[in-house]
Structure 1
Amino acid sequence: MNTLSVWRRSPFETQAQFDALVRHSLSPATGFAPAAEVGRDGDDALVKLELPGVALDDVTVEVESGRLVVRGERKDPREESARGRTEIRYGTFRRSFTLPKSVTADAVSASYDAGVLTVRVAGAHTTAQPTRIEIATA
């Protein structure tokens, strides 16, 4: 008895085609969004971003229209021909966080240690004293 089996081609006929698809989907054009943690230290706000493999020269921290904006780029140091499959995302990123109206750029400082960028916004949680409003009678 002969057995007939139907053979279907995989959408990825070769490993090279699959590798090209993965490389394209993880290309610098897609960029990435670094993980962020927003917390509090007394009256200060702390924003921590995971940026392993990102050179400090490729990162900017700005106060722009009432927002804290962190942008940069993780560059792939390998030559195009040497790139294989990777789960590391390369490309540009931009994260922004709303600041209280009372915060100015002078209140913002940043430091980088062990792949983590920490931005401190001094006095972000300082609450103003309530002002009592007189109620007029008619």
Structure 2
Amino acid sequence: MIMKTKKTEDMNLVRRNSDWFVPSTMDKFFDRFFNESFDNVATTFNPRTDIAETEKAFEIEVAVPGFDKKDFNIDLNDGLLTISGERKFEKKQSEKNFYSIQTEYGTFKKSFQLPDNIQSDKIEATYENGILSLIIPKDETKKLASKISVK
């Protein structure tokens, strides 16, 4: 199976303005660090993905905790399987002062070139316990390998 994935940028949580590290007081430094550094929460991220092959199917698992089923978009076009989704950062928790956010927010997009021996109409996708799972059954009638004799 040939796999193609789209690289995304790493999260950048700290604002990098030129005057950022020149605070007039230490209180102002900590206030700016803890209150303003989360304004730039990344807009893309790259979730962990496991890909396996069994005798009867290909299996893809994407670790995306905190999503809803409606947050995903899965397309198959000319053998290219594309999985994308979005999780928005909610700042409604005014009673909390965040000191660290390691949860990934924003959008992701992963693409995989599938082989010709799949049953595209039988692909199943489920989302449970933060894992998006896709089962891509193989078509037993289509063999990708064959023996070629030399004449």
TM-score, scaled to structure 1: 0.73
Determine helix, strand or coil for the equivalent of 2:32: helix
Task: Report whether the alignment pairs 1:108 with 2:88.
Answer: no
Task: Report whether the alignment pairs 1:95 with 2:110.
Answer: yes
Task: Report whether the alignment pairs 1:130 with 2:146.
Answer: yes
Aligned match of 2:58: 45
Aligned match of 2:12: none
Query: In the alignment, residue 54 of structure 2 is paired with which amino acid?
Result: D
- Matched-pair identity in %: 21
How far the C-alpha of 1:101 sits from its partner, in A, is 2.4
- Provide the alpha-carbon RMSD of the alignment: 3.0
Determine helix, strand or coil for the equivalent of 1:22: helix
Which of 1 and 2 has greater Rg? 1
Determine helix, strand or coil for the equivalent of 1:102: coil
Query: Kindly tell me: are residues 24 and 124 of structure 1, through their superposed partners in 2, closer, same or farther at Cα, counting changes over 3 Å?
Result: farther
Aligned match of 2:5: none
Aligned match of 1:11: 21
Query: Kindly tell me: are residues 44 and 104 of structure 1, through their superposed partners in 2, closer, same or farther at Cα, counting changes over 3 Å?
Result: closer
How far the C-alpha of 1:116 sits from its partner, in A, is 0.5
How far the C-alpha of 1:112 sits from its partner, in A, is 1.3
Determine helix, strand or coil for the equivalent of 2:90: coil
Aligned match of 1:67: 80
Deviations, residues 20-44 of structure 1 (Å, cap 9, x unaligned) = 55314424x2x21111000123221
Task: Report whether the alignment pairs 1:33 with 2:46.
Answer: yes
Name the CA distance, whole Å, in 1 between partners of 2:114 and 2:97: 40
**Which 5+ residue runs of structure 1 have no aligned equivalent?**
1-8
Between stretches 55-64 and 126-135, larger displacement belongs to 126-135
**Are the counterparts in 2 of residues 39 and 46 from structure 1 also a CA contact under 8 Å?**
yes
Determine helix, strand or coil for the equivalent of 1:19: helix
**Which 5+ residue runs of structure 2 have no aligned equivalent?**
1-18, 24-28
Query: In the alignment, residue 35 of structure 1 is paired with which amino acid?
Result: R
